[in-house]
Structure 1
Amino acid sequence: MVLTTILEKNDYSAAGLAIHNNGKLFIAGLGDFETGGTVFSINPDGSDMEVIIDESHGYLPDDLVFDENGGFYFTDFKGNSSQPDGGMLYVSPDFSEITPVLPNLSIGNGVALNPEENTVWVSELSAGRLHRVSLASPGEIAPFGTAVPYQFTGTPDSMRTDVDGNVYVAMYGQARVLVFNRNGLPIGQILLPKRDEGHNLRSTSMAFKPGTNELFIFTNDWNGGEGSQIFQTKGFANGTPMYSHK
């Protein structure tokens, strides 16, 4: 395996990534975690950087996911457990409009779409909640379309979905991934090695290998001495794409 650096060390504080159908990488950056972050795009070789959402908007973009039209949902990582200043927003396919979809979140974190793209899932880190949002159209909540099907013990981080509509949520500080069905009911979990020994607890995100159920889980060991690691396992079904379809 050959590893190549395509983006040098910078102040963007990259937190999430998705791939547009034109092949460009879209990266959510938390910036200074206070005044404002960015969403920017680059080519796979790191060239042609373009800022899509700049610091002046005041968002702290943490994660993002494209829909089939090329618009994307992103989470705003602001607030705390008693100050719900974050949220989840939708950016139109031409990137000209930003529409708040689910405001008043205590640190919006992971975001994912179901295969039919009529439901968007959001994890709320500080309040420990899993939100299911039914959509009437892109960026528009259906009548009576929101629910909290699960309350976590701990802090949920990034998430992915598979072609069966299952939802995978990385649990920060717990060295595991929880898996829910399309209704938000828990159906399983994936435990990382050495969890019982207190290692690899900082499980933050994951990604499917395109077209397969091969799942890669990202973690690091805090001060445990074993560094950052990527673990390989199998999901319940093939993963949904990280890119828009059209």
Structure 2
Amino acid sequence: MRMFRHTLLSALLVSSAGFANGAPPSLSYQSGIEGPAPIPPSEQSLQSVTAEPWFKVSDDGLQLEGPAFDSNGNLYFVEVFGGRIFKLTPDKELTTILGENDLAPAGLAIHQDGRLYIAGLGNFQDTGSVVSIRPDGTDMQTVVGPEQGYLPDDLVFDDQGGFYFTDFRGTSTEKTGGVYYVSPDQSEVTPILPNMAIANGVALGPKGKFLWTTEFSAGRLHRVGMSDATTIAPFGTSVTYQFTGPAPDSIRTDQDGNVYVAMYGQGRILAFNGNGMPIGQILLPGREKGHNLRSTSMAFRPGTNELLIFTNDWDKGEGSQIFRAEGFAEGTALYANQP
């Protein structure tokens, strides 16, 4: 025992002498971990491509969301904090169809009758709603009113003309949000996946067999097998992925069943196969220097695998842009958009 104490004391003295005579071991920034949004080690080996600039919406850092194509190739999208709804033609002519308002729109989908359905966060506390308008911005009608207590953030139609929407309520420790279904006649709202920490993106896989949703404040990707529009299949729910860092936003799917998740705060899109396993990523230019990190959403050009990705640079000077890349397969048809 005496010899052990002597050996330990000697080691401590040597260690102390080492610190006294020079710098202690230190961490350093190495390649791949610089900047505010380094790729997590578990995702660094994924197949990666860098998107290219396609269209600059504004020199200002507008929070762009909810892109959706109509049957004529027009691209509609929203601006959250100002409330505006934009239309971009196939010739890249940008117009505003709905001016500034208090909707705080965060999601948009197009019904088979051509009306635009808009999920709005209102005052982000208690005035959220879903409304519909004509493609020219007129004839606004309330579908889900603020008195119902939701904060609708995103929505997707099924092949019956009903739609799912996410409820953006809650915090990382207060799971008061969820996913809900509005019947085709809009008479009933049914809870599908309650108790979520800010439900955000929502999408349907091919043939509507699986519902996908992201949990913004808990950083999770949910895969939900559906028996019908409002019934979860037995043992049909799973959390297929736990994200690192901020924060999973909107979702799109392709016809091979792959799922694409916009990573808000990271300037990239993560791609998963139909089982929720990561298989690739699309990076936005400038992300390594802290630009274009607010990647919010994306849309497949109908009939193609071309993916248009929406982001903004907030206060860092590069404005609001749409980038372009190609996914693994042709985008899934947005059911009620189809004639």
The reply to whether residue 237 of structure 1 matches residue 329 of structure 2 is: yes
Partner residue, 1:224? 316
Which aligned pairs between 1:1-246 and structure 2 lie closer than 5 A? 1-154=92-245, 155-244=247-336, 245=338
Q: Moved runs in structure 1, 4+ residues, more than 4 A?
A: none
**Local SS of the residue matching 1:216:** strand
Counterpart AA for 2:191: P
Percent identity over the alignment is 65
Q: Which has the higher contact order (CA 8 A, sep 6+)?
A: 2
2:225, 2:205 → 1: CA distance? 10
Query: How far has the Cα of 1:222 moved from its partner?
Result: 1.9
Which blocks of at least 5 consecutive residues in structure 2 are unaligned? 1-91
SS at match of 2:147: helix
The alignment partner of 2:150 has SS state of coil
Q: Count residues with an aligned counterpart.
A: 246
For structure 1, the residue ranges without an aligned partner over 5 or more in a row are: none
Larger Cα-atom Rg: 2
> In the alignment, residue 135 of structure 1 is paired with which amino acid?
M
Q: In the aligned structure 2, how far is the partner of 1:139 from the partner of 1:17? A: 21
- Tell me the alpha carbon deviations over residues 178-221 of structure 1, each in whole angstroms, 9 at most, x when there is no partner: 00001101000000001111100000101111111111100011
Superposition TM-score, scaled by structure 2 size: 0.71
Counterpart residue type for residue 193 of structure 1: P
- How far the C-alpha of 1:48 sits from its partner, in A, is 1.6
Q: Secondary structure at the match of 2:318?
A: coil
The amino acid that maps onto 2:237 is T
Measured after TM superposition, the shift of residue 47 of structure 1 is: 1.5
Matched position secondary structure for 1:239: coil
Aligned-residue CA RMSD in angstroms?
Answer: 0.9
Greater strand fraction, Structure 1 or Structure 2: 1
**One-letter amino acid matched to 1:162:** D
Q: Deviation at 1:241?
A: 2.5
AA aligned opposite 1:207: A
SS of alignment partner, residue 170 of structure 2: coil
Deviation of residue 243 (structure 1)? 4.3
More helix by share: 2
Equivalent residue letter for 2:116: L
How many angstroms apart in 1 are the aligned matches of 2:272 and 2:154? 19
State the TM-score, normalized to the length of structure 1: 0.98
